[in-house]
Structure 1
Amino acid sequence: MNFTLHQLQVFLEVVKQESITKAAENMHMTQPATSIQLKNFQQQFDYQLTEVIGRKLYITDFGKSIAKIANDIVIESEKLKYKTKEFGAEIAGKLKMSSVSTGKYLIPYFLKGFLDQYSSVELELDVTNKSLVVQSLKNNEIDFALVSVSPSDLQLEEEILMENKLYLVGNQPSLNDNRHYIYREKGSATRAAMDHYLSSKKVQKKMELTSNEAVKQALIAGLGYSIIPLIGIRNEIKHKELHIIPQEGLPITTNWRLVWLKQKKFSPTAEAFLNYIKNNKRQIIDENFYWIKEII
């Protein structure tokens, strides 16, 4: 066999996206160039890695088995890239993380000091919905995930970071029964909390939006009310664009937590980051999230 590391990377991206076009976009390649790399890799094998049915690309069982091996090779090649620096006692390598969308208001503050201290570390952070975060954990594609509610179907370990409080919010300080309740999409932890709280109440008008920012802008525009995390609306509360509406049973309180697969074999970089979080999280919270107590 005579394949290249680049061919492995292209093949893995095609497997992940189940699309040559999307793989090309993500790898900043042209579609013809991606197709050629995939074709050259395919020529190494007697069995098909992919097949096209009705214009949709599918990964064969053989292709899936090769993808697992290819992924291991790519991971080991990345370790080689940083081995010299690690041998010299310098932390270097990739830190791979995934965060639920609301976590974007939190995770940068827990990363900054670590990245300042270890300038050779490369961060790979995916901010997405909870279902994709969980899938990344299941596939062992990341070192850590940031969530507010741990998935129950995985064996995980965790480090609690700080409280996550959810309040009923609108652009006026009181309720108006004629307005909609604005929900996040199904699968979101915020949506689950809102569904649970409103399950015993009569809610006739509903609106569903697919991001925290979309919900926030709809609230500011006066389209309705939503139960959302306080952490994402600091400026809007400060400038009185949004108001917390006191209600019995609120706030809903969960915890932001860093989670990882049980028995996960950490790279030196991932281990250094976890130690940094354990040693510095209290200071990070005090310096960056003091305003939460002032608002509530």
Structure 2
Amino acid sequence: MNYTLHQLQVFLKITQTKSITKAAEELHLTQPAVSIQLKNLQDQFEIPLTEVIGRKLFVTDFGKEIALAAENIVNEVHSINYKTLAFKGILSGKLRISVVSTGKYVMPYFLSDFTNNNKGVELDVDVANKLKVIKALKNNEVDFALVSTLPSGIEVESEVLMDNKLFLVANQKTELNNPKRANEFLSNTSLIYREEGSATRIAMESYLNKQGIKARTKLQLTSNEAVKQAVIAGLGVSIMPLIGLKNELENNSITILPSKGLPIITNWTLIWLKGKKMSPAATAYLDFIKKEKESIKNKNFSWIDSF
């Protein structure tokens, strides 16, 4: 057997994604390169690792066994690398964070200085909707999660990073000069929602219910960027987090409409399982956040205070 660590890493990613194309994307390789690595690994076994049925890739039972062994090998290699760095006095290990989708506008600023100053820390960030983020946290698959509302049914500890403000927004041609008429306006306007499970969707629905507003027509989209572009195009209005609208507000492609009870203010909060035994990398990151969060916020997000 002459399989390489790289072949095992590629095969492991294939088993996780169930797709050559997706594996290539996540590994930042070309699709042919991934296919070649899979073939080279397969050539060393008489039993198939994968099979394709109806253009869909399946991992065989034997392949699953090899994938489990590959995962153990890859983890051991990472452990050796981390221990080597630790003996050299360098902070090392993997820092795993799950981020709700709109949090992608926030989290990078609270990571950049830490990762730049700790090159031995491997960063693994997953961006998903709230349901998937909380599931990853419950399953102890991540060290931290970034959310805008605290989850129920799970005991967590938390560190507030900054305010999250949600406003009613429309394109530049839309006018609503009288906030008292906002309910009437919203009852007769197309409303653009995020997908089910999104914290922004939950906040928007809660606001509309409190105001007794029933949507005339709805449009549902699966990302903050998609909602933003739909608003700019004039497909409707939406309640959106301010954090992702800086450029659009500056170039006047989106406007904030006055409305009773808005903005909705929550908090961008870093959470972790209560009682979790943190790795050295996670402990160091939490210490960094507690010390530096105010300066990070003031440096990068002071513009939010003007709204």
Tell me the TM-score normalised to structure 2 length: 0.79
Give me the whole-angstrom Cα distance separating, in 2, the residues matched to 1:16 and 1:96: 17
Q: Deviations over 1:39-93 (max 9, x none)?
A: 25765xx8x7656555433456776676556434423321211322222222234
Residue 88, structure 1, aligned to residue 88, structure 2: yes
Residue 109, structure 1, aligned to residue 109, structure 2: yes
- Structure 1, unmatched stretches of 5+, are none
Aligned-CA RMSD value? 3.1
CA displacement at 1:15 relative to structure 2? 2.3
Q: Which residue of 2 aligns with 1:188?
A: 198
Q: Which residue of 2 aligns with 1:231?
A: 243
Identity of aligned residues (%): 53
CA displacement at 1:9 relative to structure 2? 2.0
Cα 1:186–1:85 change in 2 (3 A) is same
Give me the whole-angstrom Cα distance separating, in 2, the residues matched to 1:17 and 1:263: 31
CA displacement at 1:221 relative to structure 2? 2.8
Give me the whole-angstrom Cα distance separating, in 2, the residues matched to 1:66 and 1:262: 35
Deviating more after overlay: 243-252 vs 134-143: 134-143
Q: Which residue of 2 aligns with 1:247?
A: 259
Give me the whole-angstrom Cα distance separating, in 2, the residues matched to 1:247 and 1:180: 16
Q: Deviations over 1:102-131 (max 9, x none)?
A: 112211221122133324434333334334
Q: Deviations over 1:156-198 (max 9, x none)?
A: 4332212212121123341545531111122211112112222
CA displacement at 1:95 relative to structure 2? 2.9
Residue 285, structure 1, aligned to residue 302, structure 2: no
Give me the whole-angstrom Cα distance separating, in 1, the residues matched to 2:35 and 2:96: 29
Residue 13 of structure 2 aligns to a residue whose secondary structure is helix
Q: How does 1:122-133 map to 2 (within 5 A)?
A: 122-133=122-133
Alignment length (residue pairs): 292
Residue from 216, 233, 250 that aligns with 1:221: 233
Q: Which amino acid aligns with 1:33?
A: I
Q: Deviations over 1:216-240 (max 9, x none)?
A: 2222233221011111112333444
- Aligned partners of 1:10 and 1:38 also within 8 Å: no
Cα 1:153–1:72 change in 2 (3 A) is farther
Q: How does 1:255-274 map to 2 (within 5 A)?
A: 255-274=267-286
- Aligned partners of 2:3 and 2:41 also within 8 Å: no
- Aligned partners of 1:7 and 1:41 also within 8 Å: no
Tell me the TM-score normalised to structure 1 length: 0.82
